Structure 1
């Protein structure tokens, strides 16, 4: 009877070790660090790599044939416009000049005689016309000889530096032969190639800062903006003129061009807080007044070593700086000021 009563007691007397009812608690919002970012006015720049080119670069050629009688300059020398670089032996031209002068005197005499005879009535108009044609030919020959005399001097067409010179005294040159190269690097022209989507940001007259690979930095002016794209690259030629009166900067070296293109209102952010949404759009995660996460798309308008300037955000916004990788848009969070520790 005792055993039966003990076994039945489990149905009558509740056990003191009966398990308690388990209740599920709602998860607490994730704590994230936020900082308030305020938009500022920032200057936008277009930056590109280019190459310094001479302002003028021409090939020097002999205009006539003959032996070089005298070379007056040397390679690397600075010359002014009109300076004589070399002279060709004038012996042949002197003889041609005398011959042409004598022919002109003879033709003039024949024309005068034909005119006088026609006036007396003992000559014909045809003879006078022939004499006039001979006189014109003689005058043309005198002019040609005079021009040939000028061509005996190889001169500099503009001020610059003799970059190459392939001439020796006594050497024979033919007409049209290349004898040297003259370059003018005052000023320099720095050429860059601009993609078509950035062309509307540039215009002639804009100021520019030019940093040469040698460490030299100088100001310049945009002097040319192309209107026809290169077929291979679809880029446009833009030239920046840089003063170089002292000639200290050589042509052909690389240079970095920075051109201010205007101002805009933007936020300065650390690149580490930028992320992508599910569609691949670039943006940042922010927290609104209701502590709800929002993903706001952005556009980078200027990059620096210590951060980036972006547009697309409100003038004042709370940006998540720590913990953005653990939360999603529309999620409620516990924002903490960036100065506090999570």
Structure 2
């Protein structure tokens, strides 16, 4: 039985399906350079904004204090707790009373053995000594509690100092000094930040490229005009689900940007080595 030749239109379609990915691989695939992550900086507690140390476009480091809320009340309580945690007056007073009660008991005990006083007198002095011991323990416990209160208030003050969770840039400043920062996910953020080192490059590839690109592969990334730089990025994510409607799948690249020379939010062309 002789095989029938394929219709010309079908043959052209099949050849095009094979040729287009090859042509795209040579010219590069459309991609987009974006920040690795975007962060909205909100306050964990409600309070009046006392200071904002950065403006839009400022570079920030992870852990840097960006915003400070009013802490006058908390700092006053913290100073009091610090003082109580180092006070020695109550402990020394209780220690002195305990020493006197021990001496008194020892004298009474000796007198009882000589039968100069009643046993009840010695028992009373023993009870006084036990009370003095308890007072000393209570004074020591109060000092430890003051130290714990100091730690708690330190954390309260620290909550009112908003630090950057990433290294990057400030993309937007949404509140001003004197406004009240609200807490919660639905609250208005004080600042918006973007991590610019490394950057991420999102590429959409045709399904014919599936299996040809793997994690760890290198790719050349050309920024769109008027930028002319060519950079090397590494594949970090290859989607395992193909979009049936478009016949494509997504790939993410990681692009180092230690000097911040590459702007985020621009289009590019990616070629895989």
> Fold conserved (TM > 0.5)?
yes
Pick the TM interval, shorter chain.
0.5 to 0.7
More helix by share: 2
CA distance in 2, matches of 1:229, 1:210: 24
* CA shift digits 1:228-277 (9 cap, x unpaired): 437887865422223444545432232221112xxxxxxxxxxxxxxxxx
Higher relative contact order (CA 8 A, sep 6+): 2
Judging changes above 3 Å, is the alpha-carbon distance between structure 1 residues 188 and 138 closer, same or farther for their aligned structure 2 residues?
Answer: same
| 1:206 is the counterpart of 2:217 | yes
* Partner residue, 2:255: 242
CA distance in 2, matches of 1:228, 1:128: 68
CA distance in 1, matches of 2:45, 2:147: 21
CA distance in 2, matches of 1:92, 1:62: 18
Q: What is the aligned counterpart of 1:147 among 144, 148, 155?
A: 155
Mapping of 1:173-188 within 5 angstroms? Answer: 173-176=181-184, 177=187, 178-188=189-199
Q: Which runs of 5+ in 2 are unaligned?
A: 1-21, 103-128
1:51: how far off?
1.8
* CA shift digits 1:83-118 (9 cap, x unpaired): 432322231122111232344357994699489859
CA distance in 1, matches of 2:266, 2:209: 24
Q: What is the aligned counterpart of 1:51 among 17, 32, 55?
A: 32
Judging changes above 3 Å, is the alpha-carbon distance between structure 1 residues 139 and 50 closer, same or farther for their aligned structure 2 residues?
Answer: same
1:74: how far off?
1.2
SS in 2 for 1:94: helix
Q: How many residues align?
A: 219
1:163: how far off?
0.2
Q: Which runs of 5+ in 1 are unaligned?
A: 1-41, 261-342
**Contact 1:64–1:148 under 8 Å retained in 2:** no
RMSD (Å), alpha carbons: 4.0
| 1:218 is the counterpart of 2:220 | no
Larger radius of gyration: 1
1:224: how far off?
0.5
Judging changes above 3 Å, is the alpha-carbon distance between structure 1 residues 203 and 129 closer, same or farther for their aligned structure 2 residues?
Answer: farther
